[in-house]
Amino acid sequence: MVMLDETLVKAVTARTAAEVIDTNSEAQRKLEFVFGKHTFFSYEKGLFVVEPLQDAKQPNRRLVKRVRLATWADDDRKVLKPIKATSKAKKIEL
């Protein structure tokens, strides 16, 4: 479970051009039912969450990795299709 505070949400959205899913929305409740409690982001390729990373050489550096959970099932980007979670080294420095 990774719920981000407002500062981290702003950092992720600024660096990814993604939109955060409103934590009080029906979409958030449905996503939590399927994927567990996280801060969810939608972007051009689908849905992702972030997970913290450790940099052994720079322990004070704040890094996260983007983990894609679903892709868009339609051209209107209204329906998501769950996929096997992928985290292909898309690191984001916060």
Task: Give the pLDDT band of residue 69 (cuts 50, 70, 90).
Answer: very high
**Mean of the per-residue pLDDT values for the chain?**
87
Q: Is 1 part of a structural domain of the chain?
A: no
Domain tally, the chain: 1
- Cβ contacts of 90 within 8 Å, gap of 6 or more: 65, 66
- Residue 93 pLDDT: 74
Q: Is 38 part of a structural domain of the chain?
A: yes
Q: Is 45 part of a structural domain of the chain?
A: yes
- Residue 87 pLDDT: 61
pLDDT one-digit tens code per residue, 38-68: 999 999 999 999 888 877 777 777 788 889 9
pLDDT one-digit tens code per residue, 85-94: 766 656 777 7
What is the C-alpha separation between 94 and 75, in angstroms, rounded? 31
pLDDT at 73 over 60: yes
Stated as kind and residue range, the H or E segment containing 26 is helix 26-35
- Give me the domain span that covers residue 83: 6-93
The three state secondary structure string of 27-94 is HHHHHHHHHCCECCEEECCEEEEEEEECCCCCCCCCEEEEEEEEEECCCCCCCEEEEEEECCCCEEEC
Q: Is 46 part of a structural domain of the chain?
A: yes
